[in-house]
């Protein structure tokens, strides 16, 4: 019997591959990982397509109770479904390792993820450096380890994909302190918030890795019918209404001629100088 790690793609229930759908229909149990990313459709639509119940696997289940997912997978097929591609988060690699240690065969069904679909903005995938994650700042926690990675990418002329934080089923700390478990409403970082935090970190670090006039691309609801791609300076993108989640942000490195021609279709008025400054032959 097999544990299937199945990528669901980026948008809705129809983005699954035929191979993935066939695998799910063979499985006795189907789990949906629902904290590293989300599909832009209801779980009920997945269940209608699959013809079976889908169990939502939150962070606590995947990271602390993985044995529940693996239980019985040596006797019946089990599907663990992931938005995007199964290896878009290290958690899923950990689940694969646990399964193999338990003697459970693992098969992977890949799909599109933000890591390759980001090429829709016109910047060449092979010219991206290390991707970074930007977390929500709090009064007491303002992680900025992404800064050094962005600086290194830009020094090499490489683009940087910024993955923006989502908070799903996060416990309220004040309630926990009183012995009660209460979950906060879901939160999804916007491009506007990400830009604000980036500029705050640059001001604090002062390394000149980027600034308000740096060329960037904001992408919202990648693959959706109302997908939105806007190129401009960071200062300009901070003022754009990108609408509903999910959002991501790309900081441009050196922009070659063909990339510049593609970006021109998404460019805000007034960003020509930023594009010209990033152009390389």
* Distance between CA atoms of residues 100 and 115, nearest Å: 26
Residue 114 labelled as part of a binding site: yes
Is there a binding annotation on residue 78?
no
Strands (E) across 65-136 are located at: 78-82, 106-109, 132-134
Is there a binding annotation on residue 222? Answer: yes
Among 92, 152, 164, smallest CA distance to 128 is for 152
CB count within 10 Å of CB 135 equals 18
Q: Which of 265, 262, 260, 63 is nearest to 273 (CA)?
A: 260
Is 268 known to sit in a ligand binding site? no
Phi, psi at 247, each rounded to 5°: -120, 155
Is residue 247 a known part of a binding site? yes
The conformation of residue 110, written as its DSSP 8-state character, comes to -
Cβ pair 163, 114 in contact under 8 A = yes
Annotated binding site: 10, 85, 88, 113-114, 164, 222, 247
Annotated binding site for S-adenosyl-L-methionine: 10, 85, 88, 113-114, 164, 222, 247
């Amino acid at each position: 019997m097999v544990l299937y790690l199945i990528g669901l793609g980026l948008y809705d229930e129809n983005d699954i591959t035929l191979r993935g759908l066939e695998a799910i229909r063979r499985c006795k149990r189907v789990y949906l990982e629902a904290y590293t990313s989300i599909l832009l459709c209801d779980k009920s639509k997945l269940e209608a397509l699959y013809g079976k119940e889908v169990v939502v696997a939150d962070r606590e289940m995947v990271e602390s109770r993985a044995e529940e997912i693996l239980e019985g997978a040596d006797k019946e097929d089990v599907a663990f479904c992931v938005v995007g591609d199964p290896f878009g988060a290290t958690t899923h690699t950990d689940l694969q390792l646990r399964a193999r240690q338990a003697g459970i065969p693992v098969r992977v069904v890949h799909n599109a993820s933000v890591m390759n679909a980001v090429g829709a903005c016109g910047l060449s995938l092979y010219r991206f450096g290390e991707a970074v994650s930007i977390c929500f700042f709090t009064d007491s926690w303002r992680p900025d380890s992404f800064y050094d990675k962005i600086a290194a990418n830009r020094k090499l002329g490489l683009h940087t994909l910024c993955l923006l934080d989502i908070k799903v089923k996060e416990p309220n700390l004040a309630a926990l302190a009183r012995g009660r478990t209460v979950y906060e409403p879901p939160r999804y970082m916007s491009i506007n918030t990400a830009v604000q935090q980036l500029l705050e970190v640059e001001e604090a670090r002062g390394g000149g890795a980027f600034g308000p006039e740096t060329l960037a691309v904001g992408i919202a609801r990648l693959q959706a019918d109302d997908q939105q791609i806007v190129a401009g300076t960071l200062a300009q993108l901070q003022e754009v209404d990108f609408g509903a989640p999910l959002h991501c942000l790309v900081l441009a490195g050196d922009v070659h001629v063909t990339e510049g021609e593609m970006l021109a279709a998404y460019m805000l008025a007034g960003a020509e100088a930023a594009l010209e400054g990033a152009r390389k032959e």
